[in-house]
Chains A and B, each alone.
Chain A
């Protein structure tokens, strides 16, 4: 069976005044219907850029490599240029929810009007009245009480959690096959966060869509994802089923992320942060990207003698070979 989404050899580069920045390099990912792929990494690691590439939402100075492919439903969406095609990946087959629900609603347009507008764009044979009742149903579905009233309100009149629910309702109303969730819970407080995660889980069950869930929070990943890809400076350094990666991390970066979390059973134990800082994207290391932060010296990576390449260490669990070396060499 073919995958719902397959990203193959994707590079994303930005032309800026300071030069060409590599935002994403040689990424390959796949996602099946009804599954959640978590993408984890620090800010600037290329998680959002990867997701936005699927909808061609990156800014005008973005360049993709020619052999890159993003196959969604057997179509290479990276080659889409016509308005009709773009509509398919923007709100049609793919919907996106963002980190800041307040900022992602237009402040001076009613929530309902924004929902109806989207439905009328994507559902050719739907009239305004049907779009309205569907929108209210969706608001109800995501657990917003008094949906009819909320439909006529503005984003600033809703609470943070309610706004994110409304955002989810809007994203789902066109019945997309793929939902891109870009840190949807980061801006929410913990109790609301748990509610929103449960809501997304329910929705995946109900609609059987694929979800890419972007976060820097491994705790959230453990709750929601089936597979996980760990990104560092634009490259995937480790990917595989979530339980394998969390229980048996192979890459020093993944290990570092896990060790940086407090241990509930031993709160006095010192946290061990990953040494060093993320290099500037303008100053991206050649060869192995992680080598500047390798806890043990990794002479082989220095001059690109060893290339970054994902190798399968156990069934479905892939690790960048630089990372394995990095952990071994003393």
Chain B
């Protein structure tokens, strides 16, 4: 038990350290982009017709505190996030980022996590069956489908489905809400509307992840099933499902859980492109907007920070789960600890 607490604390500390480094990188990247927030904002205003002078820029810099040294600005940025949960103001939109992201980030998270759960809920049982099946043709069919999933890019799948939906249903199924629910508070009807549309991005994101997870589960199962301890268990009279689940499946679980954080990362990365195509209004779309169109580094930094924080957190949780199910990790024999 003491081992376990020690392990958890070490991992938590490492997670915090990772998060700190990530935030430093994110903040530095924001810094490396030519011109600062004041200049960008005023340049933006310039396009709107105002006349801008050098004095205006200096005044704006002072107002935003951009004249302070890097270390001071970084520490105030990070301490605001950690202590108050505030990301400050968007550079171009001049809106509170918290307000801008409230709901949207949760929506992204919801879509991604659902896609992840959906892919594992399919991949684990199907992967186990695929690895143990005596029917070669079923196994081959599954292999074919999952190769297809790996080979086809998400946006192509999204486009195909949109095309199909437009031809047969007259609705592109884009967006996360129908028009009438776009800007109203949450209600049961809005939830229904959301669900009737959210399945598409979830499916598109999950499809690819399922294919990968399926291959992972299948390969792990085949690997474990060949091991001597499985034969030894058969030699003791254990058979059928209890053999399958307690022996190869249980021992394949570790690496599968380990791949969760990695897969969430991949889904997050795919989200902005899918959001762009499906015209979603969650934070993935906002990230593309902030990064590529308006060059709003404050906003982009906040979103990237939130995404990485989520991944670091998921990795921390999977590490703990791994330690719970695998005594070798918990007792620090094979790495970790």
Contact = CB atoms under 8 A, between A and B. Distances in A.
Interface string B201-232: 00000000000000000000000000111111
A91 B247 contact: no
A157 B334 CA distance: 12
A117 B235 contact: no
B251 interface: yes
Contacts of A60: 134
Q: What's the dominant secondary structure at chain B's contact region?
A: helix
Interface string A76-107: 00000001001100111001101010011111
B237 A92 contact: yes
Interface stretch (B34-42, B179-187, B324-332): B324-332
B251 A108 contact: yes
Given A60-B134, A98-B228, A156-B333, A108 B237 contact: no
A154 B327 contact: yes
Nearest to A180: B235
B232 A87 contact: no
Nearest to B240: A83
A118 interface: yes
B328 A154 contact: yes
A102 B254 CA distance: 19
B246 interface: yes
The number of chain A residues touching the other chain, given as a range, is 20 to 34
Nearest to A105: B229
B333 to A, nearest CB: 6
B15 to A, nearest CB: 24
Nearest to B327: A154
Contacts of A154: 327-328, 331
B333 A108 contact: no
B189 to A, nearest CB: 48
A170 interface: yes
B52 to A, nearest CB: 66
Interface string A109-126: 100001001100110000
A87 B234 CA distance: 9
B233 interface: yes
A95 B235 contact: yes
Interface in A143-164: 154, 156-157
A57 interface: yes
B257 to A, nearest CB: 13
A90 B327 CA distance: 28
Nearest to A119: B236
A57 B246 CA distance: 19
A106 B247 contact: yes
A109 B246 contact: yes
B236 A105 contact: no
Contact of B325 (A90, A108, A114, A156): A108
B250 interface: yes
A91 B235 contact: yes
Contacts of A108: 250-251, 254, 325-328
Contact of A109 (B228, B234, B235, B250): B250
Given A108-B251, A114-B236, 15 more contacts: A55-B235, A57-B231, A60-B134, A96-B232, A103-B227, A106-B250, A107-B229, A108-B250, A108-B254, A109-B250, A118-B238, A121-B237, A154-B331, A156-B328, A157-B331
A-B pairs with the 10 shortest C-beta distances?
A91-B237, A104-B232, A91-B236, A103-B228, A90-B237, A118-B236, A87-B237, A106-B229, A96-B235, A121-B237
